[in-house]
Amino acid sequence: MKRTSKIIASVALALAVVVIGLGTAVLTNFLMVRASNPNRYEKADEEWESASAALENIGMGWNLGNTLDCLNGADPSLPPVEGYETAWGNPVTTPEMIAMVADAGFGGVRVPVTWGTHMDEQGKIDPAWMDRVEEIVGYVLDEGMYCIINVHHDTGADGWLRASYSGFDAMSARFVGIWEQVCERFSDYGEKLMFEGYNEILNEENNWSDAGEEGFAAANELNQLFVDTVRQSGGNNVRRNLIVNTYAAAISDAALYSFAIPKDRWSNHLIMEIHTYSPSALVSTPEDGVGQTRPTQADRAAKRREIFRLATRSAFLGVPLVIGEFGNMWKGDEQGSVEYAEMMAQTLADFNITGFVWDDGGWFEILDRRNLKWLRPGVPEALNAYR
């Protein structure tokens, strides 16, 4: 211990000499550069926040859906970045929108991002697109919230990233390339920025619950590639908290029991993610009318059983759980939406699980982003009442 103290004292003295040698003007410039982006910092490994602590601090989160995840149909009359950001009906994201989310009590924002549309044939991401992702990440972090970015509609029924070994080498190389570039851009961002490997990945047959042996194996392998790529990129990414989804983010027995936690050099820096939109009669709108708008006692009991099953599985696997998406469609019954939100919030709080409500600015809209008001004002209050 004495030898260590002497070494630390010597290093401190040497640093002091260097600082004096720099001169006041150089030192002032250095401090101004560091202060220009407070989201960039360095932190000792042993001080890095654990995955479970991060989720505890988030409490409840919100999704910036149908924005940076837009896949097609961009308005050609607009600049490319703006054209895609607004392609699915939402306005350009502003700091004021994100401030409303923070003021409502949410502790984090999940920012879904689609990358493939913005990559050239060599796999390079358009710098303007990367800049815009970073700008919105900054909006979130500047509000003191946690931020999650991912690979979103590159997966799914219309995506190129598949849980399949057909063309796996080329596909996985492209996937790794995305994360290499993202890691380089965000290397020195702090612990409130988290990465999510991929969203709702599907196999070639677009199965939503049972991918078969090959599909589950490919999904697990891609999760491992994601973790390895981030850890090898250096900087703060070495300790960054990372999120890995089950196949299709599904909660079927097949998806849960085929899901493998990637190997990681650290303990408690990985998070398991699933999505839940149930019961379907409550959260979805049937074609023949409005349908159910309020949860029944049977619904509440079923939700508790579901969350207990998920919590039990994550505990067995030794990683904390996050509900990356949940929500109910707007059916004109605000009280019904509030009761659904209360059911979800209380159940998740009882099992100490963090959730991110889905808001797509459309069917699942909660925040009216154009007019900066809550479409269903009782919902954010209900969601954050138990944290």
- Residue 92 · residue 64 · CB < 8 Å: no
Euclidean distance between CA atoms 308 and 352, whole angstroms: 11
Q: Which pLDDT does position 377 carry in this prediction?
A: 95
Smallest Cα–Cα separation from 327: which of 251, 382, 276, 380? Answer: 276
- Residue 132 · residue 68 · CB < 8 Å: yes
Q: Which pLDDT does position 218 carry in this prediction?
A: 98
Q: Which amino acid is at 284?
A: S
User: In whole angstroms, what separates CA 164 from the centre of its chain?
Assistant: 23
Q: Which pLDDT does position 283 carry in this prediction?
A: 95
What is the three-class DSSP state of 230? helix
CATH for 51-383 (3.40.190.80, 3.40.50.1980, 1.10.230.10, 3.20.20.80): 3.20.20.80
Measured at the CA of 249, the angle between CA 299 and CA 277, to 5 degrees, comes to 25
Q: Which amino acid is at 148?
A: I
Q: Which pLDDT does position 65 carry in this prediction?
A: 98
Euclidean distance between CA atoms 62 and 241, whole angstroms: 18
Euclidean distance between CA atoms 139 and 136, whole angstroms: 5
Q: Which amino acid is at 354?
A: T
Structure tokens at 205: 């047959």
| Ordered mean pLDDT values, 10 residues apiece, the chain (387 residues) | 38 36 36 46 70 98 98 88 96 98 98 97 97 98 98 97 98 98 98 98 96 97 98 97 98 98 96 97 80 95 98 98 97 96 98 98 97 97 94
Distances (CA, A) of 285 to 157, 250, 266, 289: 21, 20, 43, 7
Smallest Cα–Cα separation from 151: which of 132, 118, 175? Answer: 175
Q: What is the DSSP string of 281-295?
A: HHHS--TTS----S-
Euclidean distance between CA atoms 357 and 387, whole angstroms: 15
Q: Which pLDDT does position 302 carry in this prediction?
A: 98
Structure tokens at 343: 């059911």
- Residue 357 · residue 387 · CB < 8 Å: no
Angle, helices 127-142 vs 95-103, to 10°: value is: 30
Count of beta carbons in the 10 Å neighbourhood of residue 88: 18
Count of beta carbons in the 10 Å neighbourhood of residue 149: 23
Q: Which amino acid is at 78?
A: L
DSSP category for residue 252: S
Euclidean distance between CA atoms 116 and 265, whole angstroms: 29
Q: Which pLDDT does position 4 carry in this prediction?
A: 38
Report the sign of the C-alpha dihedral through residues 370, 376, 379, 381, in that order. positive
Structure tokens at 331: 């059916």
- Residue 251 · residue 274 · CB < 8 Å: yes
Euclidean distance between CA atoms 141 and 40, whole angstroms: 10
What is the three-class DSSP state of 280? helix
Structure tokens at 366: 């909660």
Q: Which pLDDT does position 74 carry in this prediction?
A: 87
* Whether the bond into 80 is cis, omega within 30 of 0: no
**The whole model's pTM is what?**
0.89
DSSP category for residue 119: B
Structure tokens at 239: 């300790």
